[in-house]
Amino acid sequence: PEQRAQADQEDRTPKQLPKGVVLGPDGKPCRSCTSVSSWFAMAKQGTTNPSKVATTTPPAQATASLDMPADCPPDVEQLGRSAWTLLHTMAASYPEKPSSEQQKETTTFMQLFGKMYPCWVCADDFRAWMKDGNEPRVSSREDFGQWMCEAHNAVNVKLGKKSFDCKKWEERWRTGWKD
Ligand code: FAD
């Protein structure tokens, strides 16, 4: 009976989540908020009833060594790379002289993007950044491209990554690198 009591206790004691695992609003681990390395660590550990959330992202090389099949749901990094590709490419194809209608629609798009981005912690921070004196600048392609670059750099800084030189946003996303 003593052994059973101990096993019972272990069953009920919630395990701690591995670093980087973020819960969704439903209290379950949020795949699009969590890196694949943390997700795999959680699966290995068999954590199903977490008591604690750690939000530190593990080092990039931890994920680089993991082979996730291409047809799996995206983790926070894959989703992020795809989202930035879309956003910077939208800026690259934005008109040099947008109409007032295009400017209005673009601002609305960015505000909705900030609400609907599937990684909710990322979305919350992005909306807070926009609210904090960084409303979308949409008066021209150059303006929008620069603003997008600054938005991306704010996330880079938050994640401890190097900032990108915003003078080069157009080479990276529109014209290709100068030789
Ligand atoms: P990415 O940062 O995805 O960049 C892709 C490519 O863009 C780079 O290789 C580089 O060539 C280019 N690039 C880099 N910086 C810039 C720039 N400033 N301007 C133009 N081009 C640039 N992840 C989290 O873990 N936590 C978060 O809170 C979080 N918030 C996010 C918020 C938003 C709105 C988005 C879209 C993504 C967020 N992400 C977040 C994902 C994160 O930004 C990265 O996409 C992810 O970590 C993968 O990073 P990466 O190093 O592969 O390159």
Which protein residue's CA is at the shortest distance from atom 39 of ligand 1?
80
pLDDT for res 46: 77
165 sits in the region (left: phi over 0; alpha: psi -120 to 50; else beta) called beta
pLDDT for res 68: 77
Facing residues of 77 across strands?
Answer: none
Which protein residue's CA is at the shortest distance from atom 47 of ligand 1?
77
Kindly report, as residue ranges, where domains of CATH 1.20.120.310 are found in the chain: 76-175
Going from the first residue of the chain to its last (179 residues), give the mean pLDDT of each consecutive group of 10, the final group possibly shorter: 53 68 92 92 72 44 62 95 98 98 98 98 98 98 98 98 98 94
Rounded to an integer, what distance in angstroms lies between the CA atom of residue 168 and that of residue 163?
12
Which protein residue's CA is at the shortest distance from atom 41 of ligand 1?
80
Q: Which atom of ligand 1 is closest in space to residue 168's alpha carbon? A: 20
Could you tell me the distance, in angstroms and rounded to a whole number, from the CA of residue 101 to the centre of ligand 1? 29
pLDDT for res 69: 83
Q: To 10 degrees, what angle do helices 120-131 and 100-116 make?
A: 140
Q: To 10 degrees, what angle do helices 76-92 and 141-158 make?
A: 160
Topology adopted by domain 76-175: Four Helix Bundle (Hemerythrin (Met), subunit A) (1.20.120)
pLDDT for res 14: 45
